Structure 1
Amino acid sequence: MTRACDLARAFADLVRHRRGYLLLEWIRKAEQDAPKPMKGFAGFLRQDLDAVTASLTLPWSSEVVEGHVNRVKTLKRAMYGRASFELLRTRILGNGP
């Protein structure tokens, strides 16, 4: 349990301080002597290593786009079956009610 806590703290530090260059080392440690669920998580990270490393290293993010997608989906759910496409379009574009 102690090892799992140490690895979790190390991973949180890795993410918080954007240290993507240490990711492969963390994965190796987790795969060697971590509990089974954490080994699975490490294996999952290894499958898309380039993308995960880039997300922990590069300054670019898709946060704004994801926020807009979430807003549109919320509007669609709220209006489902109640309004026309034109009203939905107007609400998404921000030109109306």
Structure 2
Amino acid sequence: MKDIPRIALLFDFYGPLLTERQQELIRAYYLEDLSLAEIADADGVSRQAVHELIRRSEAALQEYEQRLGFVAEHLRRKELLAELAAALDRDDLAAARRTLAALQAEA
């Protein structure tokens, strides 16, 4: 099953590091929700060729994340911001200050 949100997020961060062809295929398959057969027919290549290149593109995105960790950092900051908002909603200034300090330490 496609992990569309994860690949879309990785693509947002690391898409420019892929080749133009890889970018086109990721966009078509994940963002435009075209099938492998539809992409293959439009490009005049085999379904297997499209599948292989998409899998290599996904692997490249995963490798960039393993090496650079920008997505994990982004998600952690979003989590801290949600914690900060929740603390402020509860009027828990001590918790808000702790969360703010954690955010500042990451910056």
Q: Sort the TM-score into its range (normalised by shorter chain).
A: 0.3 to 0.5
**Which one has the largest radius of gyration?**
1
The normalised TM-score by structure 1 is: 0.33
